[in-house]
Amino acid sequence: MAFHLKPVVLGVLLPLCWVQACMGLGRSSFPNGFVFGTASSSYQYEGAVKEDGRGPTVWDKFAHSFGKVIDFSNADVAVDQYHRFEEDVQLMADMGMDAYRFSISWSRIFPNGSGEVNQAGIDHYNKLINALLGKGIKPYVTLFHWDLPQALEDRYHGWLSAQIVQDFVTYADTCFKAFGDRVKHWITFNEPHTVSIQGYDVGLHAPGHCSVLLRLFCRGGNSATDPYVVAHNILLSHATVVDIYRRNYKQAQHGSIGMSFDVMWFEPMSNSTEDIAATQRAMDFQLGWFADPIFFGDYPKSMRERVGNRLPNFSEGESALVKGSLDFVGINHYTTYYTKANSTNIIGVLLNDSLADSGTLSLPFKNFKPIGDRASSIWLYIVPVGMRSLMNYIKQKYGNPLVIITENGMDDSNNPFISIKNAVKDEKRIGYHRDYLGNLSAAIREDGCDVGGYFVWSLLDNWEWAAGYTSRFGLYFVDYKDNLKRYPKNSVQWFKALLNSA
């Protein structure tokens, strides 16, 4: 039966978790076995980009291209976790975190994307995994968090080619063999929607593809078709790898495997039929684009209708392979926007751009009033009830699958005029996590949503892609001026109290 999005009015259908209730959060607010952790990615954390045989990635090339990163920085050093992982593991242990989500750098395992395995890369991740387990911290491993080996981009244009499926399978199979005896939670891809749109539609992320009218900023591509081709190849890569894991490894290794989706919550701009329908389309073109094939075997009907023959087709065998190809749903959720119908997306139409296909416009304002308080990032508005609404949407549309919140957090600006003493006073971040976790707890306990874990983005301040070092998401302050020293923010003590509570 088709799912129809019902209008959600802030503070009415799903009320905010009031401060008094959220202050009482503890482990008992969540089910037994609920996992708390922090999250990171290889390119944003590791540094050491030319050490121990690592090959270049598309993000190395992109970050070193003029004008691609707002502060003209790159991640050659990042926060140097490659050398400091033992220190960082101890920081997690001190807080009482149960798990750590990190990604493996494909180009550390296969410097050329395929071919000969780089043993030094295997050795490094073995040491990291063993260090985590030695402190009682479970590794949650992401196989692809955006840092595609540059060799594959050069050889056949990376995710635009079906050849990538076999190379990703070889890489993933190598990781299962090397680490699967200890890694019990795998995530194939992080935010395939972001990869498709930011990398191949608007060109703001590596490899920086976009259409002709934006060619001043991009290296090439077709924004009307490339995002859909990339997404299709990612889905086929994911499903093939999951099938291999289930057939060859799951019985012996007893692990689970999923994918992490970036999902904003959308609220209708008005109660009009048009805006309510637009809000559903916004969800279809974001979460549904990837989740519908996995749960139902094909793309959402609204995408088929609006994208037409630019949207690839699954063969009968491919549809069967993709359908059911995850054990849990990873959700990266940060913010909520209002959405309205938009049939006159002149810019999108002029640019021959896939963003025009949904016929929606999503904004964080209504009648010039923001939907919530803003964090530092221009896109991140704080709307805790969105977490509860989103969990209920997933429960209703997809049959209440196991969900793990693989990212949630907010950033402060990297203000050079604020002392470390004042920068670590992050009460706004504490309020953010308190209220989002309060709504998550309500979704589980009161609404019956099946949620098994929550990962904070992020353990440390880090290099934030096109934002460079201008944005600080960490629970720990990283002093970029003094040997990358880590300083606990007040949120560290808040989480420590939460995790050690009854």
Q: What is the DSSP letter of 460?
A: B
Of 216, 215, 168, 175, the closest CA to residue 192 belongs to: 168
Inter-residue contact 214 to 202 (CB < 8 Å): yes
Residue appearing with tokens 């019956």: 448
Q: Which of 46, 153, 407, 464 is catalytic?
A: 407
DSSP run (H or E) holding 445: helix 427-445
Choice among 153, 191, 267, 318 that is catalytic? 191
- DSSP category for residue 289: H
For helices 490-499 and 81-95, angle between their N-to-C axes, nearest 10 degrees: 50
Reply yes or no on whether 407 is catalytic.
yes
CA distance 242 to 322: 9
Residue length of the chain: 502
Torsion-angle region of residue 368: left (phi > 0), alpha (psi -120 to 50) or beta? left
Active site residue 318: no
Cα 204–chain centre separation: 16
Please give the structure tokens belonging to residue 289. Answer: 């684009």
> What separation in angstroms does the CA of 259 have from each of 221, 403, 410, 412?
26, 10, 22, 28
Q: What is the rounded distance in angstroms from the CA atom of residue 289 to the CA atom of residue 241?
A: 19
Torsion-angle region of 212 (φ positive above 0: left; ψ -120 to 50: alpha; else: beta) = alpha
352-379: b or e for each residue (b if 16 or more CB lie within 10 Å)?
Answer: ebbbbbbbbbbebeeeeeebbeebbbee
* Whole-angstrom distance, CA of residue 256 vs CA of residue 36: 17
> Active-site residue numbers?
191, 407
